[in-house]
């Protein structure tokens, strides 16, 4: 059903019927609820975009951490050889190969 906006003329034609105030109120409420839902959908879309942006930033930070971990691992390998770090004791335990 098409609802015309804001026609202020009071003319009726043989093909038109005057709506009751209740019918007009129903249509206005429908229009208002549709507008509210459309606005909320837009807000959710914006929030979704922000979440995607945050996820991308976190992924970049994890990639930087992995690169740093690889760099430190290579540095330790070059300095101490193959082995494992024991953080609790603060030692590097060489592998027996």
Averaged pLDDT of the chain: 91
pLDDT tens per residue, range 5-48: 655 556 668 899 999 999 999 999 999 999 999 999 999 999 99
Domain ranges of the chain: 43-97
pLDDT of residue 1 exceeding 70 = no
Identify the weakest region by mean pLDDT among 5-14, 20-29, 53-62, 73-82: 5-14
- SS3 per residue for the chain: CCCCCCCCCCCCCCCCCCCCHHHHHHHHHHHHHHHHHHHHHHHHHHHHHHHHHHHHHHHHHHHHHHHHHHHHHHHHHHHHCCEEEECCCCEEEECCC
Its pTM stands at: 0.59
Q: What is the pLDDT of residue 96?
A: 81
């Amino acid at each position: 059903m098409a609802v015309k906006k804001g026609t202020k003329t009071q003319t009726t034609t043989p093909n038109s019927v005057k709506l009751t105030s209740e019918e007009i109120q129903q249509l206005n409420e429908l229009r208002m609820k549709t507008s509210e839902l459309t606005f909320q959908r837009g807000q959710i879309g914006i929030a979704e975009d922000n979440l995607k942006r945050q996820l991308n930033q976190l992924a970049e930070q994890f990639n930087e951490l992995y690169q740093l971990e690889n760099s430190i691992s290579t540095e330790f390998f070059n300095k101490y050889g193959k082995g494992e770090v024991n953080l609790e004791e603060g030692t590097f335990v060489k592998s027996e190969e």
